[in-house]
Amino acid sequence: MSTSTSSAVKAPVPNSSALKGKIAVITGGGSGIGLAVVERFVAEGAYVFIMGRRQAVLDQAVAALGDNVEAIAGDVTASEDLDRLYARVKAQKGIIDILVTASGIAECASLAETGPEHIDQIFATNSRATLFSVQKALPLMSAGGSVVLIGSIAGFIGTPGYGTYGATKAAVRSYARTWSNELAGRSIRVNTLSPGPIDTSMFDNVSDELRQSAIDMIPLRRLGRATEVAAAALFLASDESSYITGAELCIDGGMAQV
């Protein structure tokens, strides 16, 4: 039986206050990589708004992480839900310093199996929702703000059965290049964070054989941890990366690099 080292909901212990006083919005922040990013940002002093679809999961995160987290249940593919999210942010804080788009889905379908519903669902969540999450945040984004788009190394490697997913992540990477130019006049940085295989709940139902097959393709010979992705997100969100925009940072144990 496989085990998971994904981030558990827990009260974070502040480390360095790298984001002290910052206001962050994280879509898909209720579980997996998104939740690990929320935990790290709160630990570093940020006030974080989360959007996710499952109210019970959001309530659990807020209860565990304390007063610096506020959750809004909603679907990032629904324009009215995004409007509710940003209306809440505007009413409560009036500004956004950091936006992380962590909402995403992955479903397996070969070329022969791919149909219109599959295409529409994956692109709506991974690409279209990313665009409108950023677009609707812009009126509240501060000068010098940071946008971190969660991509994937699937955007530039060919993974059988995940052609549509890879295409959506390639689109996200392309958005980062364009938006970093478009928003440079406001000193808003846009970067892509692209994980490789990360040991989150999506691996819980994967066979030991498939799990080991993935590990064998990684030079570091292990799956990544959600906390490692969160550390990279912190770097891109903070002033430590103040001269970085339009870039892609891969957290993949070398899988797509060597």
For residue 243, indicate whether it is catalytic.
no
Return the HEC string of 158-175.
CCCCEHHHHHHHHHHHHH
Contacts for 170-173 with beta carbons within 8 Å, 24 or more apart? 171/123, 171/126, 171/127, 172/101, 172/126, 172/127, 172/130, 173/149, 173/248
Q: What gap in Å lies between CA 151 and CA 194, rounded to an integer?
A: 4
234/239 Cα distance (integer angstroms): 9
- Point out the catalytic residue in the list 47, 86, 162, 165: 165
Cβ partners under 8 Å of residue 125, min gap 6: 76, 77, 103, 104, 105, 168
Please, what is the Cα angle at 252 between 216 and 241, to 5 degrees?
165
User: Which positions are catalytic?
Assistant: 165
